[in-house]
């Protein structure tokens, strides 16, 4: 390749990468309407998505698109996106920092929640902030009401939630511990 045509080729590549990055930014802005500025939610039933792992974000979106996973809203919305756009959105939000929204809870609730989360530690870490692998979401500083809604979905057999292990773990929780558990994770700064 001659020097000049190589230069034109390189400029072209950079330009198309920029156009693509710009397109992803535009798509991501439409998510912020519900998920908050840069993916940090203002709650209480809407989850923060910035800083969750690429793999977790992508898995959920693809499961909604294929209809394998229950949703109130995301299934309908994500069907309009190509798999490439979904992959780009997952990368975009995973690169933003995880920003816990620390929600105050009283000492008795925190103690009860902590005691009931022994089973959760191996995968989510002591405070929900140290996921053991890339498929595990962060729970620390996630909105308590959202965490509670998710746990209720995993517990209901007729709600489509494909992750078998998380279903099993959610079903083991005593009904009376659910609120304390979600308040405990929501109160953790890291």
Interface characters, 6-45, with ligand HEC (x: CB under 6 A):
---------------------x--xx-xxx----------
Q: Which is nearer to ligand HEC, 8 or 83 (CB)?
A: 83
Q: Which is nearer to ligand HEC, 106 or 168 (CB)?
A: 168
Tokens of 18: 């920029």
Q: Minimum distance between the CB of residue 113 and ligand HEC, rounded to whole angstroms?
A: 9
The Cα–Cα gap between 171 and 154 comes to: 7
The Cα–Cα gap between 63 and 86 comes to: 11
Q: Find the binding residues for ligand HEC in span 40-99 (CB under 6 A).
A: 47, 49, 52, 57, 59-61, 71-74, 77, 89
Among 147, 180, 186, 187, interactor with ligand HEC by CB under 6 A? 147
Number of amino acids touching ligand HEC (CB under 6 A): 39
Q: Which long-range contacts (CB under 8 A, 24 or more apart) does 57-64 make?
A: 57/89, 57/90, 57/93, 57/94, 58/86, 58/87, 58/90, 59/135, 61/86, 61/89, 61/90, 62/86, 63/162
Q: Minimum distance between the CB of residue 117 and ligand HEC, rounded to whole angstroms?
A: 6
* Greatest distance between any 2 Cα atoms in the chain: 73
Contact present, 52 and 24 (Cβ < 8 Å): no
Contact present, 39 and 48 (Cβ < 8 Å): yes
Q: Which is nearer to ligand HEC, 8 or 91 (CB)?
A: 91
- What count of other Cβ atoms lies within 10 Å of the Cβ of residue 133? 9
Q: Which is nearer to ligand HEC, 6 or 159 (CB)?
A: 159
Q: Which is nearer to ligand HEC, 59 or 140 (CB)?
A: 59
Residues that bind ligand HEC (CB under 6 A): 27, 30-31, 33-35, 47, 49, 52, 57, 59-61, 71-74, 77, 89, 117, 119-120, 122-124, 135-137, 139, 147, 150-151, 161, 163, 165-166, 169, 173, 181
């Amino acid at each position: 390749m001659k020097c000049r045509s190589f230069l034109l080729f390189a400029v072209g590549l950079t330009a198309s990468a920029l156009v693509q990055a710009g397109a992803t930014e535009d798509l991501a802005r439409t998510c912020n309407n519900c998920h908050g500025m840069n993916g940090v939610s203002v709650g209480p039933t809407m989850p923060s998505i910035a800083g969750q792992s690429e793999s977790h974000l992508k898995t959920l979106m693809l499961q909604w698109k294929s209809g394998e996973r229950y949703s109130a809203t995301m299934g309908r919305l994500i069907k309009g996106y190509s798999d490439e756009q979904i992959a780009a959105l997952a990368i975009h939000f995973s690169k933003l920092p995880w920003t816990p929204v620390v929600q105050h809870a009283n000492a008795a609730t925190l103690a009860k929640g902590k005691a009931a989360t022994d089973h959760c530690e191996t995968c989510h870490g002591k405070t929900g902030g140290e996921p053991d692998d890339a498929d595990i979401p962060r729970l620390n500083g996630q909105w308590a009401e959202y965490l509670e809604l998710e746990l209720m979905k995993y517990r209901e057999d007729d709600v489509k939630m494909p992750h078998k292990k998380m279903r099993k773990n959610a079903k083991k929780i005593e009904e009376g511990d659910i609120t304390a558990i979600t308040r405990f994770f929501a109160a953790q700064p890291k």
